[in-house]
Each structure stands twice: as structure tokens, then as C-alpha cells.
Amino acid sequence: MPAQLKFKNVTLGYDRHPAVHHLNGEVAAGALVAVIGPNGAGKSTLFRGLAGILKPLSGSIDLGGLDIRDIAYLPQSVDIDRSFPISVFDLVGTGLWRSTGFFGGMGKAERDKITQALAAVGLNGFENRSIGTLSGGQMQRMLFARVLLQDARLIVLDEPFNAIDTKTSADLLALVKRWHGEGRTVLAALHDMELVRDQFPETLLLARGPVAWGATAEVLTAENLMVALRMCEAFDDSAAACADDMPSQAA
């Protein structure tokens, strides 16, 4: 399989403080990859880089010719502003912006697609509910419905099964497997090692930098996990980017 993504010595961070250092590697088109690591390892930061929300401090991410609209990004649920006054129907409908444009009209065909996506995640009847009234699991189902509509080649899921019940996890995992079966490239940040072992063929273990990347069984060793934990504990959050990474200050 050709590469869908190439990380070229990429460093990502905030206010010039790196959070993910010097990542090199490729993700094949159609791969299903778990991104794991301790809290603060840089998983969300990496995904924000993939989604184009965060520009690399240095290095680059080659999206294999994908347009940013070919990427569906599901943020961590804590990053969603639940007080935003929008209905479930309208929020899921934003998944169609790729085809309709921001100000595109919403005809019957589009409305039907939204209804079908809501049905696919078990949210019939929730159309007019304000997103602020949803439970954690319903919220996650809604966000998956939006990803469904985006019809993206690359799907990036940040802790998609966090704090949701077993039934919801199973339903949403079935969607992830469907996307994988359709040949889409899927990356998911996960904390559940059993789930990763059982369902994800490939894993990137991150601890501010890559610790191991490859077949899940080879990455998920006690030794690698210990190294990742130590690397995260030892990391200095106030460190500046490496001198080599900084843009030249010379005029």
C-alpha cells in the first residue's frame, strides 16, 4: 500500500514549546492505527497537527495529496463546547459542508443523509435536541454521525471510546471497522490496551517522541510501556524547541 501520511521529522507544540518531537514515519493508505501513550504524551497534539489546527514548529506532515476536507477529525469530547446553541441535526449536518459548502443550501437529499447518519448511530428522535442535553455516550454517537457524513479518506479519532458504556463502544467500534473495511485510513488515540491488542493491527506508542511503531503485538510490550512512562515523566514542559528546529532569527 502507498503511504497516506508521511511524518517528516515533525515537531509540534504550543508557544514554541514542543509537545511532540521529531516524529518520522509513514502510515499506509487504508491502515488502522492506534496511537497510545501516557497522559500528556502528545496524542491530541499530533492529531491537531493532522487536522491542520496546529502548524508544525518544524518538519512537515505530508498528507499524500489529501485536501484538508478529506480529513475527518473527531476531537476529545472535553474539547466540544456543549453550551453552543445548535441542534443535533444541524451539528451532524456540518459533516456535509465538504459537498454543500459553508453556505450551501440543504435540500431533501441532504436532510435524508443526515437522518440516515443519525439512524446509523442509534440517534433517531434526537434531531431537535440541543447538543447540551446529550449524555456523554449520545454526544459521541452524534460526533460519529458527523464523521459518517464527511465521507473522508483519513479519519482521526481522539479518544473516541472514552467514558462511554460498553454498548456504545461496541456500536462505534463497528463503525470504525466499517471505515477500515472501506479502505479509509483510520488513526485513533486510545487508552484501553485490551481494545488496542484485539482490534488495532498497528500501533504508535508516543511519549512526546515515538517510542515504538509497528505491529501492535510488538509495540505493546511491558518494556516499551515502561520506557514511555519514564519519558513522559522526565519531559520538561517548559523546554524550548531544539535550536536546530527554530527558524533562523537572522534577517
Ligand X SMILES: Nc1ncnc2c1ncn2[C@@H]1O[C@H](COP(=O)(O)OP(=O)(O)OP(=O)(O)O)[C@@H](O)[C@H]1O
| Interacting residues toward ligand X by CB under 6 A | 14, 19, 37, 39-45, 237
Residue with smaller CB distance to ligand X, 215 or 239: 239
Residue with smaller CB distance to ligand X, 77 or 216: 77
Residue type, 50: L
Residue with smaller CB distance to ligand X, 39 or 83: 39
User: Which of 103-128 are b and which e, b meaning 16 or more Cβ less than 10 Å from the residue's Cβ?
Assistant: eeeeeeebeebbbebbebbbbeebee
Please state the closest distance from residue 186 (CB atom) to ligand X, in A. Answer: 17
Residue with smaller CB distance to ligand X, 233 or 237: 237
Q: Which residues contact 61 (CB under 8 A, 6 or more apart)?
A: 5, 6, 7, 8, 10, 49, 50
Question: In angstroms, rounded to a whole number, what is the distance separating the alpha carbons of residues 106 and 244?
Answer: 50
Residue with smaller CB distance to ligand X, 1 or 14: 14
Q: Is 46 helix (H, G, I), strand (E, B) or coil?
A: helix
Question: In angstroms, rounded to a whole number, what is the distance separating the alpha carbons of residues 34 and 216?
Answer: 8
Please state the closest distance from residue 115 (CB atom) to ligand X, in A. Answer: 33
Please state the closest distance from residue 151 (CB atom) to ligand X, in A. Answer: 26
Closest by alpha carbon to 74, among 121, 27, 116? 121
Please state the closest distance from residue 207 (CB atom) to ligand X, in A. Answer: 9
User: 42 — alpha (psi -120 to 50), left (phi > 0) or beta?
Assistant: left
Please state the closest distance from residue 83 (CB atom) to ligand X, in A. Answer: 19
The C-alpha cell at 168 is: 456504545
Residue with smaller CB distance to ligand X, 64 or 160: 160
Question: In angstroms, rounded to a whole number, what is the distance separating the alpha carbons of residues 152 and 67?
Answer: 10
Q: Residue 166: beta bridge partners?
A: none
Please state the closest distance from residue 49 (CB atom) to ligand X, in A. Answer: 10
